[in-house]
């Protein structure tokens, strides 16, 4: 794993290259003049993958039975 440390001004110029480096597992650290530093970390997924909750939700056997106390609202 390669560690790349650059200034914020250089990062503006090389952003696409730095993002690609981070995707391939390299640490990319951007340092500002005031001493603060930032690390570029790939975020793999913005939204849950379709079907990722499969098996996590259970519906009881009496799910579609009338609810006690709501008889007057039933057709």
Compute CA distances 19 → 31, 63, 71, whole Å: 16, 49, 60
Q: What is the pLDDT of residue 18?
A: 92
Domain that holds residue 4: 1-44
Within a domain: residue 21?
A: yes
CATH of residue 10: 3.40.1620
Within a domain: residue 5?
A: yes
CA–CA dist 26, 23 (Å, integer):
7
Q: What is the pLDDT of residue 70?
A: 87
Tens-digit pLDDT profile for residues 9-52: 899 999 999 999 988 888 899 999 898 999 998 877 677 788 88
Within a domain: residue 19?
A: yes
Q: What is the pLDDT of residue 65?
A: 87
Contact present, 52 and 28 (Cβ < 8 Å) = no
Q: What is the pLDDT of residue 17?
A: 93
Within a domain: residue 54?
A: no
Within a domain: residue 69?
A: no
pTM above 0.85, yes or no: no
The number of folded domains in the chain is: 1
Within a domain: residue 52?
A: no
Q: What is the pLDDT of residue 1?
A: 64
Within a domain: residue 49?
A: no
């Amino acid at each position: 794993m390669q560690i790349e440390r650059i200034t914020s001004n250089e990062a503006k110029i090389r952003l696409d290259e730095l993002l690609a480096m981070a995707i391939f597992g390299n640490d990319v650290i951007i340092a500002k003049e005031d001493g603060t530093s930032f690390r570029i970390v790939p975020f793999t997924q913005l939204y849950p993958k379709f079907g990722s909750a499969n098996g996590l939700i259970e519906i009881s056997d009496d799910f579609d039975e009338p609810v006690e106390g709501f008889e007057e609202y039933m057709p």
